[in-house]
Chains A and B, each alone.
Chain A
Amino acid sequence: MSDYIRRLPVYLLLDCSGSMMGEPIEAVRQGVKALLSELKGDPQALETAYLSVITFDSSARQVIPLTELMQFQEPELKASGATALGGALNVLMECVNSEVRKSSETQKGDWRPLVFILTDGAPTDVEAFGQAARALKGMKAANIVACAAGSRADTTYLRQITENVLMMNTLSAGDMARFFAWVSGSIKMSSKSLDARPGAAIELPPPPDGFVIVP
């Protein structure tokens, strides 16, 4: 239908497990706030980017469905429980399947979704995680960036999901703020260079100081 526009779907997968309690989860809240205010000043992002938040603790859920920026309201984030990252990946795949429009003869498809995963630990639903990670990698339906936050985060799991793994050394407010600033930079960059080749590595801005790209 001609009324459709090409959207840039962005999914944030946020770890809300018990270990995030206190300063870290507050830093994530502030980060999401900052991300929104940054994107809401960018006309390209406003016209194209749609944002969704999936959180995971002992279970996983989409707390905000894919929503356009002008209408997006920050989710309430609370930390408790385990780390159902596998479950979060299943929710993600389900959401991508149902929310992201593919190109067809009569329909304008969306841009390839951007997914940012932030976790401070390792999945506790290891079996589900293994299956989901394989399925997700096989789908190649999204450009995924995973960020391991703090010393307890296990990058080997994240490497099963994506080639783009970042490591941030601490869970401090400062590092979290830098991470979300980088996410907003990545979204802006993606909404600008929307003609990336299929399967090609996504071009993202250089990671902030204190972050390491896991080789």
Chain B
Amino acid sequence: MEEYQMGPGRVWKPETAGERAYLPEPLEPERLPAPAGRDGPAPVRPRTEAGGSELEAAVSPSAEMDPKKEGAETETAGSALTETGPQEEKTETEAAVSAEAETEPKKEEAETETAGSALTETGFQEEKAETEAVVSPSAEMESKEEEAVPANAGAEAKKPLSNEAVTGHTASLWKYLPVPAEEPEPAPETLRLYQKYGGGVVTAARVRGKKHKHEGTNCDDWYEVSGFQNLLFAAVSDGAGSKRFSRIGARESCRAAAGCLRRELEGLWTPALAADAALDIGEPRCMAACTALAGAVQRSVLKAREAVESAFYTRVNAPAYEAVLGRPLELRDLSATLLVTVVIPSGAGGRLVISCQVGDGMIALVDRKGPFEGSVRLMGTADSGEFSGETEFLVSPKMSSLEALQSRTKLSWSRSDLLLMMTDGVSDDYFPHETELRRLYFDLVANGILEGESSGELTEERLRLCRKLPQPLSYPWVNDQRVQVPLHYTRRILETAGLTREDLWRDGTALAAARAELEEQLALPDPARRLERWLDNYVERGSFDDRTLVIAELT
């Protein structure tokens, strides 16, 4: 047997294998552009993820379990539903207990009270959320040169490069090419929506990824949001990047799912059903109501699949598609993921959320008023294999039955007041989701898309903190390299100011001070435009996919 060398000068033997561990690239804060006029101290490394999750795990569930909430989380509606993780469960219970302490006794009351708050309060108003996607031409932004350009590729070659050094180098290499005019069914460059409805307000946007801009190809993401009374229906889809017409699958599935859900709920939703859904989960009537609602969600996914199939059949013989592909169109050319969610207010500030997810992306609920631990509840589990990018699609043969969708259906009662639905172009940048989706929430606040908790007086300590904040980081806009777009990154805020995520959760001062610096961002007339600009411009290394984010602030 010969000997094999591993690396220069090292001899490889099978027995001693595995000694070489990959060393993660350390962040190099000193490479960041120095904040002008701010003498920041040496940046402090943020707490590690491991620390955060240990902390979470250490929290013991509250002794008092609210029977309603507790029951709600477990084994709902039999096989049709899968409960969310136990970790969120307990925190939810805590939150429910503390917030509802005075509103006891509940059981019987819940019936009437919920029916009241869910329905009569809004007085069966005309549906408010007739939402249409606003198609905007590329937003006009003033050209403004900022000095805070990311550090360029490092001179010291041996040290591992920071991600910012790499993105600083690649920033000028990304090209912008418009969508090809000759391809059938071009997708709009951006979509956005800002819409109040009976149960809250929706802010959504979708942007074409740098990859597609660079290559002059279409955006493959889509979303649809619709409402009925105080119910919200949302669908998000990401067309497979390797399939030239996956955008059609994404669009058709979203439209069909949102449309189907609305029709189903319009037919299904009665004051009696609303009351049943708000009952204790142990009640058979509640079980029946939830099964009916979850069934509607699953049928909407099947409808979406049918819609994609029928979209395929109407195009299969059209020469325009074959001309682009160089072969006949196939069903798998329309491969796309699908995430569907229904939000149903169930009285007393609580709500029932039912979701079904096929493929990657993420659905999450955030309880902005709750404690730090357990504030994020994941409503989906992305299908993924051992290696990245191995995902399921709606047109996969195994997605054709209700049974297949049952394990993908999740149901949750909670007091969470923020729903986030996104394609993997966004969710991949916030991984692992359990801890990092809080960072997404912080990024949304820091960049003026969501309102933060208004903090009290500006104390001396808070002022000191604000002086330690990093300047926004600017990258050139891919669409026009002359435009620099300053944005905030929570990761940098944590690092430079020496804060933890929990600090930010408890006290919004730092984020509020950070957002106040983003004048151009705040000058935009509505949160959807800010969201669109942020999605279109935040830079993460290796993140150049289409980005879609639907945010529902639930009231």
The SS class assigned to the A binding surface is: loop
Q: How many chain-B residues does the 8 Å CB contact rule pick out?
A: 64
- CA–CA, A65 and B491, complex, Å: 29
CB-CB contacts below 8 Å: A30-55 with B: 41-44, 46-48
Interface centre among B167, B210, B386 (most CB of A within 10 A): B386
Instruction: Output the nearest chain B residue to A72 by Cβ-Cβ distance.
Output: B157
The stretch of B7-15, B32-40, B87-95 that contacts the partner chain: B7-15
Q: Which of B16-24, B71-79, B459-467 contacts A (4 or more CB under 8 A)?
A: B16-24
Pair A61/B12 contact, Cβ less than 8 Å: yes
In this complex, how many residues of chain A approach chain B with their Cβ under 8 Å: the count is 57
Q: Answer whether A44 and B214 are a contact pair too, CB < 8 Å, given A94-B12, A112-B387.
A: yes
Query: When chains A and B are docked, how far (Å) is the Cα of A66 from the Cα of B436?
Result: 27
Binds B, one of A10-18, A20-28, A178-186, A196-204: A196-204
Residues of B within 8 A of A155 (CB): none
Nearest neighbor of A106 in chain B, beta-carbon distance: B432
A71 nearest in chain B by CB position: B157
- How far is A97 from B388 in the complex, measured between Cα atoms in Å? 16
Quick check: B241 and A194 within 8 Å, CB to CB? yes
Given contacts A5-B541, A192-B241, are A111 and B389 in contact (CB under 8 A)?
yes
A195 CB contacts on chain B under 8 angstroms: 240-242, 389, 391
Given contacts A68-B161, A106-B432, A109-B386, contact A91 B544 (CB under 8 A): no
Q: Could you tell me the distance between the alpha carbons of A6 and B242 in the complex, rounded to whole angstroms?
A: 17
Q: In the complex the two chains form, is A61's CB within 8 Å of B7's CB?
A: yes
Q: Is B457 an interface residue (CB 8 A)?
A: no
Take A62-B7, A111-B388 as given contacts and tell me if A2 and B2 are in contact as well, using a CB distance cutoff of 8 Å.
no
Nearest CB in chain B to that of A42: its residue:
B173
Quick check: is B130 within 8 A (CB to CB) of the other chain? Answer: no
With known contacts A5-B163, A195-B240, A197-B390, A47–B2 Cβ distance under 8 A:
no
Residue in chain B with minimal CB distance to A86 = B2
| B423: min CB distance to chain A, Å | 12
Complex interface: chain B residues within 8 A of A91 (CB)? 4-6, 12
Complex Cα–Cα for A97 and B20 (A): 10
Q: Quote the shortest CB–CB distance from B237 to chain A (angstroms).
A: 14
- A77 contacts the other chain (Cβ, under 8 Å)? no
Within the assembled complex, what's the spacing in Å between the Cα atoms of A65 and B12? 13
| Residue contact B166 to A106, C-beta cutoff 8 Å | no
Q: Are A43 and B389 in contact (CB under 8 A)?
A: no
A43 touches B428 (CB 8 A): no
Tell me the nearest residue of chain B to A142, going by C-beta.
B387
Q: Which residues of B contact A90 (CB under 8 A)?
A: 4, 12, 14
Asked whether A101 is an interface residue with its Cβ less than 8 Å from the other chain, the reply is: yes
> Which chain A residues numbered 42 to 89 have a C-beta less than 8 Å away from chain B?
42-44, 46-48, 58-63, 65-66, 68, 70-71, 73, 84, 87-88
Known: A3-B163, A101-B22. A47 touches B387 (CB 8 A): no
Q: Cβ of B432 and Cβ of A128 under 8 Å apart?
A: no
Cβ of B215 under 8 Å from chain A = yes
Residues in B whose Cβ lies below 8 Å from that of A128: 1-2
Is B49 in contact with chain A by the CB < 8 A criterion? yes
CA distance A133 to B76 in the complex (A): 50
Asked whether B241 lies within 8 Å of A198 as measured between CB atoms, the reply is no
10 more CB-based (< 8 A) A-B contacts, given A5-B541, A6-B388, A58-B2: A6-B542, A42-B173, A44-B544, A47-B166, A102-B386, A109-B386, A109-B387, A110-B388, A195-B242, A197-B390
B interface residue numbers (CB < 8 A to A):
1-8, 10, 12, 14, 17-22, 24-25, 27, 48-49, 53, 153, 157-158, 160-161, 163, 165-167, 169-170, 173-174, 210-211, 214-215, 240-242, 384-391, 428, 430-432, 435-436, 439, 491, 540-544
- List of 5 A-B pairs having minimum Cβ-Cβ separation, nearest first: A61-B5, A193-B242, A43-B170, A5-B542, A43-B173
Q: Which residues of A contact B (CB under 8 A)?
A: 1-7, 41-44, 46-48, 58-63, 65-66, 68, 70-71, 73, 84, 87-88, 90-91, 94-95, 97-99, 101-103, 105-112, 125, 128, 192-198, 203
What are 29 inter-chain pairs, A to B, with CB distance below 8 A? A2-B491, A5-B163, A41-B173, A43-B173, A43-B210, A43-B544, A44-B214, A46-B173, A58-B2, A59-B3, A59-B4, A61-B4, A61-B6, A68-B166, A71-B158, A87-B2, A94-B12, A98-B20, A99-B20, A101-B22, A103-B386, A106-B53, A109-B386, A192-B241, A193-B242, A194-B389, A195-B391, A196-B389, A198-B386
